[in-house]
Structure 1
Amino acid sequence: MPTIVHFDIPADDLERAKSFYSKLFGWKFEKPIETMEYYLIDTEDLEGKRGPGGGLGKRGSAEQKITNFIGVPSVDEYLAKIEKLGGKALMAKTAVPGMGYLAICMDTENNPFGIWEENEEAR
């Protein structure tokens, strides 16, 4: 069953946001690409088991909010389902090279969310 696999947090001040979330929840941040203003977030559940991963990056616009990404077997298949059910795509299927594909969508209540397909052959 599809579930949340990743979340993105936009921030105006990355250092302030990292400090806030690491002190509040104990989250760990890693910068995988030095030239990119983006940090990966490691989380754990209350028993210490690995939780959903996240990301922290520069806010692109004032309207940008936290976005949850739901893992799906096929972004193409789910984009069609979303449209059929009255939702819409805000950002078309996009490759994250070597990792997978994502798309940003809007549900019928005007809530944004993302869908994510793991695929190491994404280009």
Structure 2
Amino acid sequence: MDPVVHFELPCNDRERIARFFEQAFGWEVQMLGPEMGNYVVVTTAEPSAPPPAPPHAVPGCINGGFFTKTPDMPAQFPGIVIAVQDIRASMKKVTAAGGQVLGEPMMIPTVGDYVAFLDTEGNRSSMLQPLMPQQ
């Protein structure tokens, strides 16, 4: 079974959405720069493992992020990110099950390979093949 490990919310104003979730829920935000698409990483729970703990190190909790809407990106809706063992094999499974993979995987430095997809109802979600932790 592949677990949900991250969520994503679209926004028009990343400063405004970050401020809202910081003030309303105490979430920690990290503003990334243009080289990472101005993504905002959101921490919703403190890791239960010592650093370098994986982003989903609190059982039952997930962290997330905010992405700025752009006119050239399809399906800019809230979504989930599912951790998979083999992103290429999972892309084939999504297609075989009636979904549509949106492009090719991109490498997120220090995180892993990521690609978005649409399910049979048109919902956008994503897959992540996490980098293996260093031993």
Which residue type is aligned with residue 59 of structure 1?
K
| % same residue | 26
What is the RMSD of the two structures over their aligned residues, measured on CA atoms? 2.5
Residue in 2 aligned with 1:107?
119
TM-score after normalising by structure 1: 0.81
Structure 2 CA distance for partners of 1:74 and 1:52, relative to 1, 3 Å: same
Residue in 2 aligned with 1:39?
40
Residue in 1 aligned with 2:101?
89
- Report deviation, 1:85: 0.9
Structure 2 CA distance for partners of 1:118 and 1:35, relative to 1, 3 Å: closer
Structure 2 CA distance for partners of 1:56 and 1:102, relative to 1, 3 Å: same
- Greater alpha carbon shift after TM alignment, 65-74 vs 16-25: 16-25
SS in 2 for 1:78: helix
Q: Partners in 2 of 1:26 and 1:15 — Cα distance? A: 15
Counterparts of 1:57-96 in structure 2, within 5 Å, are 57-61=67-71, 63-96=75-108
SS in 1 for 2:45: coil
**Gaps (5+ residues) in structure 1?**
none
Q: Partners in 1 of 2:68 and 2:34 — Cα distance? A: 14
**Contact 2:82–2:126, Cα closer than 8 Å, also in 1:** yes
**Contact 1:96–1:102, Cα closer than 8 Å, also in 2:** yes
**Contact 1:94–1:101, Cα closer than 8 Å, also in 2:** yes
SS in 2 for 1:83: helix
- Report deviation, 1:32: 4.8
Cα deviation, 1:52-78, whole Å, max 9, x if unaligned, reads 121123212385112210011111010
Which residue type is aligned with residue 94 of structure 1?
M
